[in-house]
Amino acid sequence: MNNRELQLPDMPGFEDFYGAVNDRAPFPWQRRLAQQVSECSEWPAEIGVPTGLGKTACLDIAVWWLASQAHLPSERRSAPTRIWWVVNRRLLVDEASKHAAQIQAMLRDPSSVRNTEQTDVMRSVAFRLRSLA
């Protein structure tokens, strides 16, 4: 363990992060995808989930995955620092943009989330992400 690891707060699990952002538990497929990208160190080629089942949560997974690797040197991190959101409907792009702005606002001001436990989760993730700057 290096000094950088010692300075970072513990990384919350995906379910805790998702709950802090969305105020509800993730769908089972979202949990599985978060586990898959974390363990396999890559995104699947595509996300084939029916409309209305929360594909926008891929943004949550991307943010959580990057924060979970903040303790690693950049050459060892597999989580990308940028993601592409490619869909064929303008409405979906607008929804994803709104959700990304919501996550950004919560990371900028963790005290804006609903309760103390969720504030602590967002504070830890925000600190870990800031350490990458």
Number of residues that make up the chain:
133
Cα gap 124→122, rounded to integer Å: 5
| The pLDDT value given to residue 48 | 87
Q: Each residue of 37-79: pLDDT tens digit?
A: 999 999 998 888 888 899 899 999 999 999 999 999 999 999 9
Please say if the pLDDT value at position 99 is more than 70: yes
Mean pLDDT, the chain, rounded, equals: 90
Cα gap 13→74, rounded to integer Å: 21
Classified as helix, coil or strand, 11 is coil
Task: Quote the domain boundaries for residue 19.
Answer: 3-130
| The pLDDT value given to residue 5 | 47
Find the distance separating the first CA and the last CA of the chain, reported in whole Å. Answer: 20
Whole-prediction pTM value?
0.89
Find all residues with CB under 8 Å of 102, minimum gap 6, and list them.
21
What's the total number of domains in the chain? 1
| The pLDDT value given to residue 70 | 96
Please list, residue by residue across 53-88, b when 16 or more beta carbons sit within 10 angstroms of its beta carbon and e when fewer do.
eebbbbbbbbbbbbbbbbbeeeeebebeeebeeeee
Classified as helix, coil or strand, 117 is helix
